Amino acid sequence: MPLYPLTPILFCMACAYMLHASLAYTGKGALVGLAVVLAGLPLLLFRRREPETALPADAAPAPLK
């Protein structure tokens, strides 16, 4: 990624600004939207992950269909 440490930092700062502006201009309406997003956060954090199978070093991945 070009400018690696700077690009994600700028993205996070832009998101924080948009959240602040949304809260400042709409007030309680933005809190409802934020609550919906936060309600989905546990699903993202605690989802089941399939175990990764180790491939031999000389094995190539299967082609996409």
pLDDT per position as a tens digit, 6-62? 999 999 999 999 988 988 999 888 888 889 889 998 988 887 777 676 666 666 666
What token pair was written down for 1? 């990624």
Whether the CA torsion 41, 8, 33, 23 is positive or negative: it is positive
Residue 59: predicted pLDDT? 63
- For residue 30, the tally of other CB atoms under 10 A from its CB is 16
Query: Are 23 and 30 in contact, with CB atoms under 8 Å apart?
Result: yes
Residue 56: predicted pLDDT? 64
Pairwise CA distance, residues 44 & 23, whole Å: 24
Q: Find, among 11, 30, 29, 10, the residue nearest to 20 by Cα.
A: 30
2, pLDDT greater than 90: no
Q: Is the pTM of this model over 0.75?
A: no
